[in-house]
Chains A and B, each alone.
Chain A
Amino acid sequence: MASSHPILDEAKPAILEEVDPVDIPRPALVENNRSFSWITDKICGIVEEKTPTWWWVCFIIACAGASFTVMGLVYLVATGTGVWGLANPANWGWAIVNFVFWIGIGHAGTLISAILCLLRQKWRTSINRAAEAMTIFAVVCAGIFPVFHVGRVWMAWFLFPIPNANAIWPNFRSALLWDVFAVSTYGTVSVLFWYVGLIPDLASVRDRAKNKIRQVLYGIFAMGWRGSNRQWSNYEMCYLLLAGLSTPLVLSVHTIVSFDFAISLLPGWHTTIFPPYFVAGAIFSGFGMVLTLMLPLRAIYRLEDLITQYHIDCMTKIILATGTMVGYAYGMEFFIAAYGANDFEIFAFVNRAFGNYAWAYWIMISCNVISPQFFWFKKIRENTGLVWIITIFVNIGMWFERFVIAVTTLTRDFLPSSWGYYSPTIIDIFTYLGTFGLFSVLFLLFLRFLPLMAMAEIKAVTPQADPHKH
């Protein structure tokens, strides 16, 4: 090819004429060169096989776990919010901690499906479906806490601007109301995005159905999808737009969640670093949860060809990066407190690290800042057992982060006479632990009834899908 630039032509060494651009081999996203139909059989097989025994065992345990949440909430509604260990000035306790924890978990699902889609990270295809399911179920668990924290839960609909007989409108100047809109939009859009992604795969399950009931049920949800290219064209545009919409959405949701704290005037909360720091923390904890869920699934269903070591590497590196960002934010909070020379701010942070809740603070630091640093080492990233254990630490650490933020500030407010020590009650603990049961129930149902990987998308990133290959 002749260059149009005479000076460049002269300067170009002759050797360049003979050299081809390097073709750097990309890591295979589906190993062992699996065919299209192998992928369909593998994923649909999980939904079509007889319900395995381990599933029933897990399901019963999960239901038993979820019943703790149900009982905790029944007791709370029957008695009053006092059964949670809330006492002035700590009127936000585990409820807000658990809410932020679960919402944060959800964020990795949207990150994988939306942001990685926009960045054309093709490795997302084998994990996005399960991660989005995780998002939706996490939002369900998160929603429970603020809804019941309002006290009279049967009045929770007052949060929405619904014209009612009392002619009461909500106060749109409050960050808590922004939260209502942010979280409900997030839940709705996540479900829509997930559903749009499911349509072609539901059509695959429908087409393979052996009995009429299955065919009709999956058929209804597949919307009569037939994989026509005129439809794919609109579908792909729609999917891209949803990814483009979900990206600012996911960033805004945790920003608004952080506003709950940041636009208050309390030392330790009133900081501008909160939005980016909360978003990084959310992605950090979410990827932790994705790996916590996907590693056992990979082993149980023998999905090593679809979730390869490359996938695990990518996710652990994101955990490492976001964990380090979170660590930076912890340091920066201290720096700004010292540099700002505000006595109350300095006290709040010294109290965090060395006060009554120092134990929680140092658990947080060890789990969030130190434990992900192990992912610098390839040997550790390749050891699935160790990766799984570290992701558990990440989950624990991120729960403690929210606990430290909420509780240390509230129990040491401006009036020393009301200082105290906040402890959860047994009802708090049961209600929270039960949400893991609820989450597992929903996730197990998802595994049983819906294709857990986006088959159409995985097929599209295999080498044989490239029409110019042959």
Chain B
Amino acid sequence: MVNQHGLIAKFDTPADIMHAAEKVRDAGYKNWDVITPFPIHGMDPAMGINRSLVGRFTIVGGTIGLTTGMLMIWFTGASELSLPYMEGYKLIVGGKPYFSPQFAFPVSYELTILFSAFASIGGMFILNKLPRHHHPVLKYKDVAASSDDKFFLYIENEDPQFDGEKTRSFLNDLGPVEVGELEE
């Protein structure tokens, strides 16, 4: 026998799924989610999700980028430091200063953006726990509709409030098109 992962309900319109999500949130469920083909405006408050934390990764990436740029330019052209496999030396060019934050700015600025972009995307994947190719939702028979024009809501077995029959009738009361089972 296949293990059950949870129960999944299918809805036809963004309005239906939004109202359903509000009710699931108010009922106090924790391990549940909504599957939609596109981001629905206002779904985050309807589900009670807080503001995304991706921005924290971005600021860290940006700071590292700016510091890397400035240090690299100082090290290669103005310092006489000796690091493993590389050495800095004073590079004389047209009587210009060895280091100045002004000429170092364009490159450091680009590195700030480069590192921030990588950090944002990395952060997004980490927070979303992706890539993950074996999630139970991906095995559901109707999955193709979830990236086309249908809207799904599922509650996992692991939710402290989950109770087979009660949760099923709760989902049925939300007015879905159908309620099915998610397999592990």
Residues on A lying within 8 angstroms of B by beta carbon are 35-37, 40, 161, 163, 167, 169-173, 175, 177-178, 181-182, 185, 188-189, 192-193, 196, 200, 203-204, 207-208, 219-220, 223-238, 241-242, 245-246, 248-249, 252, 256, 259, 455-457, 459-460, 464-470
Q: Is the beta-carbon distance between A207 and B147 smaller than 8 angstroms?
A: yes
Give the A-B contact count at a CB cut-off of 8 A. 214
Q: Is the beta-carbon distance between A200 and B149 smaller than 8 angstroms?
A: no
Q: Known: A172-B77, A242-B120, A467-B41. Contact between A227 and B106, CB under 8 A? A: no
Residues on B lying within 8 angstroms of A by beta carbon are 13-15, 17-18, 21, 33-44, 47, 49, 51-55, 58, 72-73, 76-77, 85-89, 91, 93-94, 96, 103-104, 106-107, 109-111, 113-114, 116-118, 120-121, 123-125, 127-128, 130-135, 137-138, 143-144, 146-149
Which residues of B have CB within 8 Å of A464? Answer: 13-14
Which are the 8 A-B pairs with shortest beta-carbon distances?
Answer: A36-B149, A237-B52, A163-B86, A238-B124, A169-B76, A223-B131, A467-B18, A178-B106
Q: Is the beta-carbon distance between A40 and B149 smaller than 8 angstroms?
A: yes
Q: Is the beta-carbon distance between B37 and A232 smaller than 8 angstroms?
A: no
Q: Which of B89, B111, B134, B144 contacts A181 (CB 8 A)?
A: B111
Which residues of A have CB within 8 Å of B117? Answer: 188-189, 192-193, 242, 245-246
Which residues of A have CB within 8 Å of B146? Answer: 207, 226-227
Known interface pairs A170-B76, A232-B43; 5 further A-B residue pairs with C-beta atoms within 8 A, sorted by A's residue number: A207-B143, A208-B148, A227-B36, A229-B44, A470-B13
Main secondary structure of the interface of A (DSSP, over half): helix
* Sampled A-B contacts (17; CB under 8 Å): A35-B149, A163-B85, A167-B86, A169-B77, A171-B91, A173-B96, A178-B107, A181-B111, A188-B114, A200-B37, A236-B39, A237-B52, A241-B55, A455-B38, A459-B37, A460-B41, A467-B13
Q: Is the beta-carbon distance between A459 and B38 smaller than 8 angstroms?
A: yes
Which residues of A have CB within 8 Å of B73? Answer: 172
Which of A175, A223, A230 has the most B CB atoms < 10 Å from its CB? Answer: A230
Alpha-carbon distance between A234 and B130 when the two chains are bound, in angstroms:
12
Q: Is the beta-carbon distance between B114 and A229 smaller than 8 angstroms?
A: no
Which residues of B have CB within 8 Å of A256? Answer: 106, 110
Q: Which of B18, B37, B72, B128 contacts A456 (CB 8 A)?
A: B37
Q: Is the beta-carbon distance between A467 and B138 smaller than 8 angstroms?
A: no
Closest to A228 in B: B33
Q: Known: A169-B76, A200-B147. Contact between A177 and B127, CB under 8 A? A: no
**Min CB gap B3→A, angstroms:** 19
Q: Which of A171, A228, A242, A259 contacts B137 (CB 8 A)?
A: A228
Q: Is the beta-carbon distance between A204 and B77 smaller than 8 angstroms?
A: no
Closest to A468 in B: B15
Q: Is the beta-carbon distance between B49 and A235 smaller than 8 angstroms?
A: no
Which residues of A have CB within 8 Å of B107? Answer: 172, 177-178, 181
**Min CB gap A130→B, angstroms:** 19
Alpha-carbon distance between A238 and B124 when the two chains are bound, in angstroms:
6
Q: Is the beta-carbon distance between B49 and A229 smaller than 8 angstroms?
A: yes
Q: Is the beta-carbon distance between A189 and B114 smaller than 8 angstroms?
A: yes
**Min CB gap B72→A, angstroms:** 6
